[in-house]
Amino acid sequence: MLDNKPLIVAISVAVLALLGITGYFVLFGENSDPKKNQQEISIPPAVPDPKPELESTSEPAPIQTIESISADDELLASEKEPQEKIFTLPHLDESDQLVRDGVIALSRHEAINAWLAPNELVRKFVAVVDNIARGQIAREPIGYLAPEGSFLVVPIDDQSYTLDPVSYRRFDVFTEIVISYDTRRSVELLEFLNPLFQKAYGELGYGEAAFDDVLITALDNLLETPVLEAPIRLKRPVVMFEFEDPDLESLNPVQKQLIRMGPRNTRLLQMKIREFLAEFRAVP
């Protein structure tokens, strides 16, 4: 059903999370607790600055004969060198800053800051993706993303209406932000953060089910939404607006929400989703 109140753009946060959580990796210093980390990545050790030589006031040491070093000796010496430093992902409860820095590094659009204000961004993302995969709208985690303005209709007669195209403009800024993201870097960081997504998904009661599969299902669900260029006719049998076309009315809530964003926004978002899926499925 369609109501006449401003609805939360549940679909938007899903695409945001899929395409916007990217950028650079934030390295947490030595103060992080290794027991709370999920994944380890090797980082080459920094080369220390050479120490200045001090003048010696003592007598020079006797010259010693330097023996040749064999290949085996070099290998043994290399094995004794300090091990590379290990970078670990933060604990799920401490991951918000990593997400914020990644999204900000990817987009120069100032409006992105409002998307990053809440806490528990990974858990919210996972909850929304799970709902989209099931065709549902998760309003609770993303109420702060409700679009400005009202849902508008144009009366035809006492029983019929059309969806006012002016309503589509409420979602233009969101679409502009999403399509500006670098798709390849989005996929790279999505894979990097996958242990956090997997842990949050397990908290929902799905055990060890792969979150990647849910992600693909959610995106496929969005791609199955039709792009409607013609005026969209509505009816209002009681309080809530409904599509006059029974095929449209039978769509799931997420697909109906995407239609309400308008054909231009739907088309642009679906193009970006196809780019993302192509990169995502190419990851070995």
Per-residue pLDDT for 186 more than 90?
A: no
* Average of per-residue pLDDT values in the chain: 74
Q: Which of 199, 215, 244 is nearest to 94 (CA)?
A: 199
Write the Ramachandran bin of 120: left for phi over 0, alpha for psi from -120 to 50, otherwise beta. Answer: left
For the four alpha carbons of 78, 83, 87 and 88, in that order, the dihedral sign comes to: positive
Residue 226 binned pLDDT confidence (cut-offs 50, 70, 90): very high
- β-bridge mates for residue 87, sequence order: 41
Q: For the chain, give the percent of residues with pLDDT over 70.
A: 65
Euclidean distance between CA atoms 48 and 194, whole angstroms: 33
What dihedral do alpha carbons 163, 1, 151, 255 form, nearest 10°? -80
Task: Compute the average pLDDT of residues 184-205.
Answer: 90
Pairing verdict, β 40-43 and 242-243: unpaired
Question: Which region among 21-30, 38-47, 79-88, 160-169 has the lowest average model confidence (pLDDT)?
Answer: 21-30
Residue 81 binned pLDDT confidence (cut-offs 50, 70, 90): low
How do the domains of the chain map onto residue ranges? 10-34+87-282
pLDDT of residue 24: 24
pTM listed for this prediction: 0.67
Task: Compute the average pLDDT of residues 22-27.
Answer: 24
pLDDT digits (tens, 9 = 90+) for 45-60: 444 444 444 444 445 4
